[in-house]
Structure 1
Amino acid sequence: MNWIILILAGLFEVAFAFCLGKAKETTGNEMYFWYAGFLAALSISMGLLIKATQTLPIGTAYAVWTGIGAVGTVLVGIWVFKEPAGFLRLLFLTTLIGSIIGLKAVSSH
């Protein structure tokens, strides 16, 4: 169950990065809406990470959380913000995904 909580925490990390990207593109009240979304997603992500680390090893949980956030944010950048998706960028993204899966596989919890 705590692995599911950790995955959700990572997805909320992607959400707060997405909100930052949207806030950068907007002005006025809409910008404040995206910053409020950032703060909400950040709070939820941290709360879920704290919950997950009550039973999962902190090193593994933190690495998986940041990995999910990194992979998700790169994919959102490519799909939503039209950032480049070159071969080397995708290659290193794939190795990061493999590392996250490997950490999960060797974790004793």
Structure 2
Amino acid sequence: MAWFMVVLAGLLETGFAVNLKLSHGFTRLGPTIAFAFFALSSFGLLTLSLKQLPVGSAYAVWTGIGAAGTAIYGMVWLGESTSVLKLVSVSLVIAGVVGLQLSGSGH
């Protein structure tokens, strides 16, 4: 259950990063409120998961999911540039997250 919370928190991190951009420096109310919701939810779930998981592994997975998710979202829905190097780099981040899980570092 703790790892599920980390994965969900990582997905919510993507939400807060995207809404941070969409808020235009907290000048747009809707995205600013969405940012606050996603950020509080993400940090809350990460905090709860850290009661059972090592901080290094959990934090790495959380940031990896958030970083990869945000990069993918930006390329697909925000018109950010896409290149082979960027796609390979995102794939490496995802591979690192999977590698941490498979290594048993969270047990």
TM-score, reference length from structure 1: 0.91
| Structure holding more helix per residue | 1
1:18 alignment partner in structure 2: 18
Counting matched residue pairs gives 106
2:65 alignment partner in structure 1: 68
Change (3 A) 1:32 1:108: closer
1:105 Cα deviation from its structure 2 partner: 1.0
CA distance in 1, matches of 2:44, 2:106: 23
CA distance in 2, matches of 1:39, 1:47: 12
Which residues of structure 1 form unaligned runs of 5+? none
2:99 alignment partner in structure 1: 102
CA distance in 2, matches of 1:108, 1:6: 11
Root-mean-square deviation (Å): 1.6
CA distance in 1, matches of 2:15, 2:69: 9
Query: 2:48 matched to 1:55?
Result: no
Which residues of structure 2 form unaligned runs of 5+? none
CA distance in 2, matches of 1:18, 1:91: 21
Query: 2:86 matched to 1:89?
Result: yes
**Partner deviation per Cα, 1:64-93 (whole Å, 9 max, x = no partner):** 000000000001100111111101111111
**Partner deviation per Cα, 1:5-47 (whole Å, 9 max, x = no partner):** 11010011001011112222xx6xxx11111110111000000
**Aligned residues with identical type, % of pairs:** 38
Runs of 4+ in 1 over 3 A off after TM superposition: none
